[in-house]
Amino acid sequence: MLYMVRYKETSEYVISGYLKEVEKDHISPAKEDSASQLQQKTSQLKKRIIFGLGIGISAGGIVLAGGWVFTVALAAVVFVGSREYFELVRSHGITAGMTPPPRYVSRVCSVICAFMPVLTLYFGQIDISVTIAAFVVAMALLLQRGNPRFSQLSSTMFGLFYCGYLPCFWVKLRCGLAAPALNTRIGTTWPVLLGGQAHWTVGLVATLISMSSIIAADTYAFMGGKAFGRTLLTRISPKKTWEGTFVGLGGCIATSVVLSKFFCWPTSLLSAIAFGFLNFFGSIFGDLTESMIKRDAGVKDSGSLIPGHGGILDRSDSYIFTGALAYSFIKTFLPLYGV
C-alpha cells in the first residue's frame, strides 16, 4: 500500500514536471517573439529619432540659407519623390486596374519635375513652362506604339502637378516674398553670413512658421491619437482618428500663434490663427492623399531611402499642398504680406 502511494506521488511529480516543461516550451517562443518585437520597435524608434533630428537640422539650415541652396535642395527632393511616385503608379496594386505610363516617360517626367523649382527661382513664374512640358508629355503618350490608355495620361499629368508644380510654391514662398520683415527685432541682429538684415524677409518668416506648424500638427496628432484616439477618421489611413486630428489642429494653431508673437508676423492674431488652420488643412490633405496612393499600390511606405521613415514622399507628403495654400493666403488676404 505504501509502495502504491509513493508510486502515485512519483507519477504525479513526473507528470507535473513534464507539463511544466511542455508549458515552458510553448511559452518561451512567444516570450522570445515578444521580446524580439519590442527590441525591433525600440531600434526602429531610435532610427526615427536620429534620422528625424538629422533631417530637421539639415532642413532648418537649408531654409535659413534660402536662394539657390534652398532651391537646389528642393529640386533634389522633388526628383526622388517623383521617382517614388511613378514607382507607386507601376506597382501591382495600381496596375491591376490601370495601365501605367511607359518607364521612359516616367523618367522624363521626374527630370522635368526636378527642373521646375529651378525655373521658378529664375523666372518667378513657370505656368508657360509647365504647360509646354505637359503638352509634350501628353503627345508622347498619345503617339506611343500600341494602344494609349487614359490612365497613362491621367497618372502622368497628376504626377507633374503633384510632384513638380505644387512644391514650386515653396520657392515662391521662401524666395519670392522678399519684402523685409522690418517689424522684428531679430532682423537687426541677423548674421552677416546669412545675408544680414536684408535676408530677414517675410518669405523666410512665413516659411519657418509654416514648416514649424506642420511639424507641430504631425506631432500633436500622433500624441493625441495615442492618448485619446477612438473614432476612425477615414479608412484611407486606419491609424488616424478624429480625436488625434483635433489635437493636431490645436497644436498647429497654437504653434502658429506663438511664433507669430515671437517673430511679430503676421501682426493680426486672427491672421495667425487662420494661417495655422490653413497649414493644418494642407498638411492633413497631403498626408491622406499620399496614404490613398500607397493604399491603392498595396505598400506601407513609398520607399526605403530614409531608415525608420520610409521614402521621401512619406516625409514630405504633409508639405506638398501646404506651400501653395500658404503662399496664396499671404498674397491674397494679408495686406502688405502681413507686415
For the segment 134-161, what is each residue's pLDDT rounded down to a tens digit?
A: 898 899 888 887 777 888 888 899 999 9
* Residues 152/140, Cβ–Cβ less than 8 Å: no
Q: How far apart are CA 143 and CA 146, in angstroms?
A: 9
3-state class (DSSP) for residue 303: coil
Residue 74, pLDDT > 60, answer yes
Q: Supply the DSSP symbol for 306.
A: B
- What's the confidence (pLDDT) of residue 308? 62
Mean pLDDT score across all residues of the chain: 82
For the segment 183-193, what is each residue's pLDDT rounded down to a tens digit?
A: 666 766 767 66
**Among the ranges given (27-31, 141-145, 154-158, 313-317), the one the predictor scored with the smallest mean pLDDT:** 27-31
Residue 123, pLDDT > 70, answer yes
For the segment 213-256, what is each residue's pLDDT rounded down to a tens digit?
A: 999 999 999 899 988 888 999 888 888 999 999 999 999 999 99
Backbone dihedral angles phi then psi of residue 267, each to the nearest 5 degrees: -75, -20
Residue 23, pLDDT > 60, answer no
Please give the model's pTM, rounded to 2 decimal places: 0.83
Q: How far apart are CA 44 and CA 308, in angstroms?
A: 6
Q: How far apart are CA 2 and CA 92, in angstroms?
A: 74
260: its cell numbers: 507669430
- pLDDT band of 71, cuts 50, 70, 90: very high
297 alpha-carbon distance from chain centroid: 17
Residue with cell 488643412: 281
Q: Which residues pair with 310 in a beta bridge?
A: 306
- pLDDT band of 69, cuts 50, 70, 90: very high
DSSP string for 137-201? HHHHHHTSSS---HHHHHHHHHHIIIIIITTHHHHIIIII---B-TT-STGGG--GGGT-GGG-B
In percent, the amount of the chain with pLDDT more than 70 equals: 77
- What's the confidence (pLDDT) of residue 73? 95
180 cis-preceded (ω within 30 degrees of 0): no
Element of type H or E holding 295: helix 269-297
Which amino acid is located at 25 in the chain?
A: D
Element of type H or E holding 320: helix 312-320
* Residues 162/85, Cβ–Cβ less than 8 Å: yes
For the segment 256-307, what is each residue's pLDDT rounded down to a tens digit?
A: 999 999 888 888 899 999 999 999 999 999 999 998 988 888 888 887 776 6
Q: How far apart are CA 142 and CA 101, in angstroms?
A: 11
Backbone dihedral angles phi then psi of residue 146, each to the nearest 5 degrees: 90, -150
Sequence-ordered list of residues with C-beta below 8 angstroms from that of 272, at least 6 positions apart, any chain:
256, 257, 260, 261, 266
Q: How far apart are CA 254 and CA 232, in angstroms?
A: 24
315: its cell numbers: 516625409
Number of neighbouring beta carbons within 10 Å of residue 167: 26
